[in-house]
Amino acid sequence: MNIKLLMGASALAMMAFGGAAQAQDCPRGDLDERFCDVDGDMIADVPTDESQLIDPDTLVFAYTPVEDPAVYKTAWSDFLEHLEEKTGKKVMFFPVQNNAAQIEAMRSGRLHISGFNTGSNPLAVNCAGFRPFTIMASKDGHFGYEMEILTFPGSGVEKVEDIKGKQLAFSSPTSNSGFKAPSAILKGDYGLEAERDFEPVFSGKHDNTILGVANKDYVAGAVANSVMQRMIERDVIKPEQVVSIYKSQTFPTTGFGVVYNLKPELQEQIRDAFFSFEWEGSTLQEEFSKSGEEQFLEMNYKDFWDVIRKIDAANGVSYACE
């Protein structure tokens, strides 16, 4: 299966990226032709031409669209105040409804700081100039989540093989745990392929899949268990409403970072805001401690996302931006 992110080059995008929007004669690997990767770290280099750098009065921040945006606007409120103090700029929370819209917003210059979900990171890096540098982790440094395939009690699905001939819910094509990882695992380990062996449906978000399974709208669904854990903690669903029939290896969770062409000093201020943030007693801790996350841990895309790029390769995913 070949997934391509289709994006139009709007006038706004051309103005936002200026000369960077033109092809450059430089090493870039899988990056879009607008970017360079001279140092080989697999992310877009910061432009050396000052005319290509941006320094917006208002910084726009978005969190990956996995659950109710209103919940997460509140959850991020303390951090965004801290970010304003560190940068001296106004910061606006931008609620995004899907992964493609989030990537397009950064690509077109309307999004400056973001948390992209596991599966969207490679697309954001290669197509939008996303420079991730941190993920959430527990106090002891543990990070990540597992993909689980859920069903409901009495569904008739007791093991993965029972999905054959039935319907399986995914979240979105760009999601690692909500599509790409389960697709690779089902095909590689169980010989099950979408359309041929089962009917795939897309719910749009992990919480929609979880609610759909819990309410018996979907016979089974593939989800990130960190999302499920937070929903159970908030009493959105009860643990006994779902049954897990598969649990994967641990994957890296949401990657946070900035768009490549922010002024270097501003990028450093934003990095400092993440790593100097005090979680204790914050709205961020109140929400994310439900899934065991209580600090920002430094990471790099090249190493941390290696397993995700391998899953994409197994699925025939292309990072081409058109």
CATH number of residue 268's parent domain: 3.40.190.10
- Indicate the Cα dihedral angle 283, 287, 291, 293, nearest 10°: -20
Spatial CA neighbour of 271 closest among 296, 253, 305: 296
Both 133 and 22 in one domain: the answer is: yes
6: region left, alpha or beta (phi > 0 left; psi from -120 to 50 alpha)? beta
Mean pLDDT of 4-22: 38
Paired with 62 in beta bridges are 114
Spatial CA neighbour of 146 closest among 225, 210, 206: 225
Mean pLDDT of 91-120: 94
Q: Does 102 map to a domain?
A: yes
Distance CA 79, CA 86 (A): 11
> Which pLDDT value is given to residue 70?
75
Share of the chain above pLDDT 90, in %: 78
Both 258 and 301 in one domain: the answer is: yes
Per the structure, how many domains does the chain have?
Answer: 2
In the listed set 202, 221, 251, which residue is the last one of a domain according to the structure? Answer: 251
What lies within 8 Å, CB to CB, of 273 at 6+ separation is 79, 82, 83, 85, 86, 87
Its pTM stands at: 0.78
More reliable by pLDDT, 80 or 250: 80
- The 3-state DSSP class for residue 121 equals helix
Q: Does 246 map to a domain?
A: yes
Which pLDDT tens digit goes with each residue over 237-269?
Answer: 999 999 999 999 889 989 999 999 999 999 999
Both 158 and 96 in one domain: the answer is: no
Which pLDDT tens digit goes with each residue over 206-246?
Answer: 999 999 999 999 999 999 999 999 999 999 999 999 999 99
Which pLDDT tens digit goes with each residue over 30-74?
Answer: 999 999 999 999 999 999 999 999 999 999 999 988 667 778 899
Residue keyed to tokens 């289709």: 6
The DSSP line for 13-44 is HHHHHGGGGS--SS--TTS-TT---TT-SSSP
Sign of CA dihedral 43, 45, 46, 51: negative
Q: Which domain holds residue 216?
A: 145-251
Distance CA 271, CA 290 (A): 24
Both 229 and 164 in one domain: the answer is: yes
HSE, side-chain direction, 13 A CA sphere, residue 250: 8
Both 132 and 186 in one domain: the answer is: no
Both 20 and 128 in one domain: the answer is: yes
Interhelix angle 306-314/121-128, rounded to 10 degrees, is 90
Give the pair of three-digit tokens for residue 266: 């501003």
